[in-house]
């Protein structure tokens, strides 16, 4: 199914247990106004969205969040995911945003490099497609 115009999208690695965990964590905790679609980076829609980005973002090998016409990558995308959740999760956004970007991205890169060690790869991508 195609992502409708104006809808936010979170592109995740379909072969990553951490990414699946993030989508499965977010889904039941979304606030009622949240409108976000999860897609695999390697899907047709994911590749179409990524193809229009600047080269450094296309080559970032990361999670991508398309929110309000902007594209966020790495820790900026991950932290902004909190904005889709109910208030008691959303309040963590300003606290985590105070951490300087280079430190956030360094922590993100460390987790990303080791994600397959700590999180089992799913046999099948189970992102909700709607």
Instruction: Summarize pLDDT for 63-102 with one digit per residue, the tens.
Output: 999 998 899 999 999 999 999 999 999 999 999 999 999 9
CA 35 vs. chain centroid, Å, equals 14
**Phi then psi dihedrals of residue 40, to 5 deg:** -75, 140
Instruction: Supply the pLDDT for residue 101.
Output: 97
Task: Give CA–CA dist 90/86, Å, rounded.
Answer: 6
Instruction: Supply the pLDDT for residue 126.
Output: 62
Is pTM beyond 0.85? Reply is yes
CA 38 vs. chain centroid, Å, equals 8
Task: Give CA–CA dist 38/32, Å, rounded.
Answer: 16
For residue 124, the 8-state DSSP code is S
Instruction: Supply the pLDDT for residue 9.
Output: 92
Q: Give how far Cα 71 sits from Cα of 30, 39, 56, 58, 82, Å.
A: 20, 14, 12, 11, 16
Q: Give how far Cα 49 sits from Cα of 40, 42, 62, 85, Å.
A: 11, 11, 14, 23
Q: What is the largest CA-CA distance in the chain?
A: 37
Comparing 19 with 103, the larger pLDDT belongs to 103
Structure tokens at 24: 């499965």
For residue 128, the 8-state DSSP code is -
SS3 123: coil
């Amino acid at each position: 199914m195609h992502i409708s115009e104006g809808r936010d999208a979170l592109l995740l690695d379909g072969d990553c247990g951490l990414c699946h965990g993030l989508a499965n964590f977010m889904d039941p905790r979304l606030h009622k106004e949240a409108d976000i679609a999860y897609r695999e980076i390697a899907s047709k829609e994911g590749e179409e969205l990524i193809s229009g980005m600047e080269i450094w973002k296309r080559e970032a090998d990361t999670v991508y969040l398309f929110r309000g016409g902007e594209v966020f990558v790495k820790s900026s995308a991950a932290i902004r995911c909190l904005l889709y959740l109910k208030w008691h999760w959303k309040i963590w956004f300003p606290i985590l945003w105070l951490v300087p970007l280079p430190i956030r991205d360094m922590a993100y890169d460390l987790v990303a490099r080791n994600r397959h060690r700590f999180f089992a790869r799913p046999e099948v991508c189970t992102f909700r497609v709607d």
